[in-house]
Amino acid sequence: MQWQTLSSPPFLPPLYWRAALKRKITGTALPEQGVRCRVSVNSWQVAAYRKVCGFADSPVLPATYPHILAFGLQMQLLTDHAFPFPLLGLIHLSNRIRIHRPLGGVSELSIAVHAQNLQPHPKGATFDVVTRVEDSLGLLWEAESRMLCRGVKLDGETAQAVQAAPTQTGEITRWKAPADIGRRYARVSGDYNPIHLSAFTAKLFGFPQAIAHGLWNKARTLAALAEHLPAANIELTVEFQKPVRLPSEVVLLASAAGARGELMLKGAGDIEHMRGKWQPITERH
């Protein structure tokens, strides 16, 4: 892996423009290059994120906040001329984060992002966007987001791991996903994907109305489960099912508090929006 080391986080507007202009698949191999940078944690931005996602005030960063710190680097990676797939139209299938130590007392972090694990899929190809966050003591947090690019032709067998539906779960809480949550989350995350912003912009990409960001759904869920989950040595995996159309109400179901458990986010008519699980990092399945 070759690394491009930036002196400061990327300036986003040119990257949005680059993403808007690239609409075609230009290859079938991932570049052997990652992007890394030192990033400062801004308390005002963290507070704004907490408000949008429902996290209570705490000296510890929200479990999903490193995604926000890494977003510019992810954009830089995915809009680079060497990257073969257009960013607009990618579908976020699943997300896994590992919190190795409590996310407290951090002011500056080293973040590295790369793509790997290109695999054939019945609808195209999948790959993982891998993010690693380190502090002065070493690895602190890491994540893999599995993305689907439709229309890619790869040789090989397609294999899809299907996560079993949670069984021992009960309703924890429910909340409304308001019509403007896509715009509000975009302001704190930098993710201005048109499918999340309004019904008009979503229709340009084939959606009847705007849909909530998958990582907002996950963040809002983890905020609601704050008393349920360990603060560290935890792996949290979710699969995104049917999108949450805006506005709508969702119900969170989860198993009892503990070192491991399962969760599910459902909408009207028992539609499944997201399913997931948590467990200690030391476990491998």
Statement to judge: residues 44 and 152 lie in one domain: yes
Statement to judge: residues 152 and 172 lie in one domain: no
**Residues of the domain holding 85:** 1-161
Length of the chain: 285
- Count of the separate structural domains present in the chain: 2
Which 3 state secondary structure label does DSSP give 187? helix
Chosen domain end from 161, 186, 213: 161
Average pLDDT of the chain? 93
Residue from 272, 269, 278 nearest 252 by CA: 272
pLDDT at residue 205, rounded to an integer = 83
Statement to judge: residues 207 and 281 lie in one domain: yes
Residue pLDDT, tens place only, 50-108: 999 999 999 999 999 999 999 999 999 999 999 999 998 899 999 999 999 999 988 99
Chosen domain end from 161, 193, 218: 161
pLDDT at residue 156, rounded to an integer = 77
Provide the whole-model pTM: 0.94
Q: Of 118-127, 201-210, 239-248, which gets the smallest average pLDDT?
A: 201-210
Chosen domain end from 108, 138, 161: 161
pLDDT, mean of residues 12-23: 93
The answer for residues whose C-beta is within 8 angstroms of residue 284's C-beta and 6 or more apart is none
Statement to judge: residues 177 and 145 lie in one domain: no
Statement to judge: residues 34 and 155 lie in one domain: yes
Residue from 237, 240, 184 nearest 54 by CA: 184
Instruction: Check which CATH number belongs to the domain holding 33 and give it.
Output: 3.10.129.10
Residue pLDDT, tens place only, 131-186: 999 999 999 999 999 999 999 988 877 766 666 666 788 999 999 999 999 999 99
